[in-house]
Amino acid sequence: MPEKDQNFQKGPDVRGNMVKVNIDGDTMFVDANQYQPQVEHAKRLLRQKKLPKNPKPKEWQAKDYSLNKIADYKPFNFVDGEGVRCSLYVSGCLFDCPGCYNLAAQNFNYGVPYTKELEDQIIEDLGQSYVQGLTLLGGEPFMNTEVCLSIVDRIRKEFGHTKDIWSWSGYTWDELQKETDDKLELLSKIDILVDGRFMEAQKDLTLQFRGSSNQRIIDVPKSLKAGKPIIWDKLVR
């Protein structure tokens, strides 16, 4: 039998005021008297060191992952873009941004199936004169193109361009240019793209409609015409 380690002790590893903790596989010592705030601080630092995933062009295809599920639908809100909006949260995202605002919706199997009834409800809600448009979020709308193209095409059929369509995406504008036809089709049919992963190290809660300063609010029709991303002209900050 091996000799017992002289430093062996039962229970937590405590050295003076310091206690050893394991956070996401990394071990570190924190002051036992400041346990909670120090653990929270350590978690935040670790999240800042980790980065979201970076797919190669066309590596992630909606047809291979999407289950056409919806994490949530919020009609008549003021936070997901300009004016009063109806927001559709699709399920499934592979970017795995540390600090993601909607962890549950990263799962492609989360929520409920997208149905004709829900689509009819969205169209009815958008029909209210005070509603400016639809917002697609997630999860990742560009990994759920079947659902998103279905509602986008229906909106154009029922309302033309009198309602606008915003979409958030973990993909950047430049990445989307090298993507599959379904992603390019969705991009070509929306008005505003808020692009890029959420980066914890660049988090800034004072920004308009974005969580981190790397993300941009892009005017899609103008950008497609110019062949480069053009920032939304109503951007304040």
**Residues contributing to the site for ligand SF4 (CB under 6 A):** 52, 93, 95-97, 100-102, 106, 138-140, 170, 197-198
Choice between 170 and 229, CB closer to ligand SF4: 170
CB of 31 to ligand SF4, least distance (A): 32
What phi and psi values does residue 121 have, to the nearest 5 degrees?
-65, -45
Report helix angle 145-159 to 181-189, nearest 10.
Answer: 30
When CB distances to ligand SF4 are compared, the closest residue is 170
DSSP string computed for 163-226: SEEEEE-SS-HHHHHTS-HHHHHHHHH-SEEEES---GGGB-TTSSS-SBTT-EEEEHHHHHHH
Least CB distance from residue 112 to ligand SF4, whole Å? 18
Residue with smaller CB distance to ligand SF4, 93 or 186: 93
The smaller minimum CB distance to ligand SF4, of residues 48 and 121, is found at 48
Nearer to ligand SF4, 30 or 192 (CB): 192
CA distance 4 to 160: 76
Collapsing DSSP to helix, strand or coil, 114 comes out as: coil
CB of 28 to ligand SF4, least distance (A): 25
Compute the least distance from the CB of residue 52 to ligand SF4, in Å: 6
Give the H or E element holding residue 88: strand 84-90
What is the closest distance, in whole angstroms, from the C-beta atom of residue 203 to ligand SF4 in the complex? 11
Nearer to ligand SF4, 86 or 136 (CB): 136
CA distance 137 to 73: 10
